[in-house]
Amino acid sequence: MFTGIDTDIGQVIAVRERAEGLARMVIACNYDRASIVEGASIACAGVCLTVVGIGEAEGHTWIAFDAAAETLRLTTVGRWREGRRLNLERALRVGDELGGHIVAGHADGIATLIAREDFPDMARMAFRVPADLARFIAAKGSVALDGVSLTVNEVARDTFSVMIIPHTLKTTTLGALAAGDEVNLEVDLMARYAARLMEGR
């Protein structure tokens, strides 16, 4: 589990196809090498991946992950290339501060930025989402975009908007987004379970 409060920005340094439907991603980061073990979970741009290798190179820690076909199909992971910057968050530990909202790291799909309006102290971004996910998004509710916990501002059919503060623009990859860019979307867990319960009735 995660909180949507990212703790580092990593960079893809290698992408290797290991087998049909399986890719290995190697990401450089600023985490302490000694603090990471194989088998640990790290959210990379909002996608929970399992560490399968760790090392150091050129003063940075590198972490290797394997991504399976489902992940490559449903998220932006299949489009990652060398140089891609990624929001990173390590798994939540019991007793940690829950600063955002509960995030599973299981991206539901991809949202596309359709409009961006910059103000002196923040930015308004509007996204379009797949129709089957739109019903889980509500004004004042929570979403995770590329792993960043955000509060929904407005909703209209299959689009929604968020207001992003300067700190988030500066410390995550969201500040570099432009119209047409795609991000991993995870809807709020509570909304998903509530919808499932309603279907059961």
Q: Is residue 113 part of a domain?
A: yes
pLDDT score recorded for residue 98 = 77
Residues 6 or more apart whose Cβ sits within 8 Å of residue 161: 124, 125, 126, 127, 152, 153, 154
Catalytic residue status for 44: no
User: Computed from CA positions of residues 78, 32, 171, 146, in that sequence, does the dihedral angle turn out positive or negative?
Assistant: positive
- pLDDT the model gives residue 201: 62
Q: Which one of 50, 69, 115, 195 is the catalytic residue?
A: 50
Number of structural domains found in the chain = 2
pLDDT tens, the chain, 201 aa long:
899 999 999 999 999 987 778 999 999 999 999 999 999 999 999 999 999 999 998 888 999 999 999 999 999 999 999 999 999 999 988 777 778 788 999 999 999 999 999 998 899 999 999 999 999 999 999 999 999 999 999 999 999 999 999 999 999 999 999 999 999 999 988 777 777 677 666
> What's the pLDDT at 97?
77
Residue 155 lies in a domain: yes
Instruction: Round to whole Å and give the CA distance between 188 and 195.
Output: 11
Told to judge if 136 belongs to the known catalytic residues of this protein, a careful annotator would answer no
> Do residues 117 and 83 share a domain?
no
Compute and round to an integer the Cα radius of gyration of the chain: 17
My answer on whether 22 and 79 are in the same domain is yes
The answer as to whether 98 is a domain residue is no
Q: 84 and 162, same structural domain?
A: no
Domain hosting 73: range is 8-90
Does residue 38 fall inside a structural domain? yes
Res 161: pLDDT: 98
User: Of residues 7, 106, 112, 138, which has the active-site annotation?
Assistant: 106
Question: Active-site residue among 48, 123, 126, 144?
Answer: 48
What DSSP letter does each residue of 68-118 carry, written as one string? EHHHHHHSGGGG--TT-EEEEEEPP-TT----S--B-S---EEEEEEEEEE
**29 flagged as catalytic:** no
Whether residue 68 is found in the same domain as residue 143:
no
Catalytically annotated residue among 64, 67, 111, 126: 64
Helix (H, G, I), strand (E, B) or coil at 186: strand
Q: Which of 41, 112, 159, 171 is catalytic?
A: 41
Whether residue 3 lies inside any domain: the answer is no
Together in a domain, 133 and 175: yes
Residue 12 within any structural domain of the chain: yes
pTM, 2 dp: 0.93
> Is 35 an active-site residue?
no
Instruction: Given the residues 14, 35, 69, 151, select the one marked as catalytic.
Output: 151
